[in-house]
Structure 1
Amino acid sequence: MTEIWTEGPAETWKPLEITPEGAGVEPTETGLARYLSELGDVEPLLTSAKALVLRGFDVGPDRLDPVLDALLPNRLPYVHGTSPRTKVGRNVYTSTEYPSEFTIAMHSELSYASGWPERLAFYCERPAAEGGATPVVDGALWLSLIDPEIRRAFAGGVRYIQNLHDGFGFGNSWQQTFECEDRDTVEELLRAAGAQWEWREGTGLRIEQTRPATARHPRTGEEVWFNQADQFHPAGLGDTAAAELALILGPDELPQSVFYADGGQIPAAAIQHIQQCGLAAAVDVEWRRGDILLIDNMLVAHGRRPYTGPRRVLVAMSG
């Protein structure tokens, strides 16, 4: 299945861009701080617009913290994440460190977990020489574009499996994933999440959990596509990468895998269709130095376009 289902909302959507001229303030970090102070709670505007691009305020990395404090009132650690990142500040991380030549498909952060951040803020310290945009897509639009047969197949939810090594292996270790070295702490987190787990001698930690495929936003009531089945499925890696991984690891040894809630296999064609729908409907945020992108993590999914040259985009999350 390669065609994109076209029934659903035809209107386009894009993030709301806020500039010093439009905000009526000076083009500095101080001007941005004044605008945010006068705005007060950013939540109503963010919920209405779904994503905001703050552009032209000349925010340097040494002046980023106060801005993040205003945008993210409760910055969260990246616990139980699957993406490789480096922590560079107070719950500030590099955006995903997957090789620059790959596209990262659309997803909402930690949508496979029992809890997820409500907001994400991305900051461009250095744009790529070429490419490297952050695509964003309206989650309700994405859902409407997915073939109804595929949506029905996911109605029972998604079963995620993670195999986290203990220091040597493919993917992240359990220590990296949970930002700790204590097994009891990890078990408390998994127990609270309603996940099943098993410590495997010499190989690490295996986690299994079943989550819904869609979710409703608590304030707007919109139903959105809200899972990472395509990122856990080998087909989401592309044919070449999936084939190479299959030669090295058995099906039960993959760092992550995914099934329908009843344990049934998800066809590769369904995964490819889901990815194509999300990327086709996405709007690219082309980075300029100092830009900040704030998104509602439920209403909007995000990804990454391939790029060349050095690129540094940071991300922080809020509950």
Structure 2
Amino acid sequence: MGVELKTVNLPRDVTSRPYDEHGLPLIVEPATGSLANDPEAVQSWFEEHHRTLEDLLPAYGGVVLRGFAIPDTAAFNAMIERYDTDPMGYAGGLTPRSNISGKVFEASRVPPEQKIILHQEMGYLPNYPKAVAFYCLIPSETGGCTTIGDARRYQKQIPARLMDSVRERGVLYRRNYRKPGPEADPLKALFRREWTDVLQVETVEQAEAACEAVGCAAVWEDDGSLSMHYRSSGFVNHSATGEEIWFAQVQGMHFNRARLDRNYDKLNAAFPAGRPRPIEILYGDGGDIPDDLVTPLYDVLDALAVNLPYEHGDFMLLDNIYTMHGRQPYTGKRDVQVGLVF
């Protein structure tokens, strides 16, 4: 990882081990029958030791509790209930996800055959979570890992021209959502949600207020669609260490063939340059980020990817600045739930 791995100072009723050679993530397992079998004992243990686990995140990037008695959504919610969450919930989020119970949301609703590219959660908004918690209720038959990757190792491999140009010009996130009602083009309907759904509002006035609440400018297009604009420096300083870290979602929001693959030609025809696109990232002054600066990122991310197969009851807490996450394609039923920690 980007900082020296520290001695793990955990109580004697658990054991721990780094999953990969770089320390990502740290796996913590129970060494007593009570933690393995008694959900109430787990809740008491987590109440006492959750700050110790959180203190390990800057060094290890993520901590996985495996083999603990965390049987269901209610137990997961009890663990994250102590954390502050965004009062907006997931309104304004990039992909659809519904609230399950309390502070628990479903994972991103993306078709199982698609890979979700490594990214930092909600980096396209000024108010983003400091950590993300994942809970596995039902592991998939194949694949389905929440892929994780070290943002510090990634930063060292980003092309210097891209780093320097973003540092000079910043980035602009633009997301466009169609007006409510039927959409004649099924492709446009598939890739562009209604702004009433995204922002969980009904009126134009409510939509503008919701955009302002999440730190975005509301731009109404001539077709009745709504574009949400947000400018960022592309970097943030970690609250615990002060270290400056790349925090630009270029790899996941740039409009290029390498990312969109077989959908590129269809989407380019449906959403041509110069017209609002479902999602895109530009330089902060509105200029295009050249494809040749972005395309090399995907091989870098694939090489960084850590895929720890889920087991029922796994609880994973990730540092959202130092650790990116994504998802493998999968088969079979998969129920992975999420909590955002602000």
TM-score bracket for this pair, using the shorter chain length: 0.7 to 0.9
Structure 2 portions without partners, runs of 5+: 5-20, 184-188
Confirm or deny: 8 A CA contact 1:140 1:222 kept in the other structure.
no
Confirm or deny: 8 A CA contact 1:230 1:271 kept in the other structure.
yes
Is 1:203 the counterpart of 2:224? The answer is yes
Give the aligned partner of residue 335 of structure 2.
312
**CA distances 1:207-229 after superposition (whole Å, capped 9, x unpaired):** 22211222110111222221212
Is 1:230 the counterpart of 2:240? The answer is no
C-alpha separation in 2, matches of 1:263 and 1:73: 34
**TM-score normalized by the length of structure 1:** 0.88
Distance 1:190 1:84, change over 3 A: closer
Query: Given the alignment, which residue of 239, 248, 266 partners 2:270?
Result: 248
Give the aligned partner of residue 45 of structure 2.
35
Q: CA deviation at 1:187?
A: 2.3
Structure 1 portions without partners, runs of 5+: 1-7
Give the aligned partner of residue 91 of structure 2.
79
Q: Could you say what secondary structure the match of 1:162 adopts?
A: strand
Confirm or deny: 8 A CA contact 1:92 1:316 kept in the other structure.
yes
C-alpha separation in 2, matches of 1:75 and 1:36: 22
Give the aligned partner of residue 280 of structure 2.
257
Query: Given the alignment, which residue of 50, 57, 65 partners 2:68?
Result: 57
C-alpha separation in 2, matches of 1:23 and 1:243: 56
C-alpha separation in 1, matches of 2:249 and 2:106: 20
C-alpha separation in 1, matches of 2:50 and 2:338: 22
C-alpha separation in 1, matches of 2:213 and 2:109: 29
Query: Given the alignment, which residue of 99, 114, 118 partners 1:102?
Result: 114
C-alpha separation in 2, matches of 1:23 and 1:285: 24
Q: Which amino acid aligns with 1:190?
A: C
Confirm or deny: 8 A CA contact 1:160 1:259 kept in the other structure.
yes
Q: Could you say what secondary structure the match of 1:32 adopts?
A: helix
Q: Which amino acid aligns with 1:203?
A: G
Q: CA deviation at 1:193?
A: 5.4
**TM-score normalized by the length of structure 2:** 0.82
**CA distances 1:289-319 after superposition (whole Å, capped 9, x unpaired):** 1111111111211011111111111111121
Alignment of 1:1-319 (within 5 A): 12-21=22-31, 25-39=35-49, 41=51, 42-61=53-72, 62-70=74-82, 72-74=83-85, 77-155=89-167, 156-167=169-180, 168=183, 169=189, 170-191=191-212, 195-200=216-221, 202-235=223-256, 237-251=259-273, 252-319=275-342
Q: Could you say what secondary structure the match of 1:35 adopts?
A: helix
Give the aligned partner of residue 18 of structure 2.
none
Q: CA deviation at 1:21?
A: 1.6
Q: CA deviation at 1:205?
A: 0.9
Distance 1:66 1:304, change over 3 A: same
Q: Could you say what secondary structure the match of 2:90 adopts?
A: coil
Quote the RMSD (CA, aligned, Å).
Answer: 2.5
Confirm or deny: 8 A CA contact 2:77 2:103 kept in the other structure.
no
C-alpha separation in 2, matches of 1:314 and 1:248: 33
**CA distances 1:80-109 after superposition (whole Å, capped 9, x unpaired):** 111122322224221112111121111111
The range that moved more, 272-281 or 126-135, is 272-281
Q: Which amino acid aligns with 1:145?
A: Q
**CA distances 1:55-98 after superposition (whole Å, capped 9, x unpaired):** 1113222432212224x343651121111223222242211121
Q: Could you say what secondary structure the match of 1:238 adopts?
A: helix
C-alpha separation in 1, matches of 2:34 and 2:84: 24
C-alpha separation in 2, matches of 1:24 and 1:89: 26
How many residues align? The count is 311
Q: CA deviation at 1:40?
A: 5.1
C-alpha separation in 1, matches of 2:75 and 2:35: 17
Confirm or deny: 8 A CA contact 1:136 1:301 kept in the other structure.
yes
**Higher RCO (C-alpha under 8 Å, 6+ residues apart):** 1
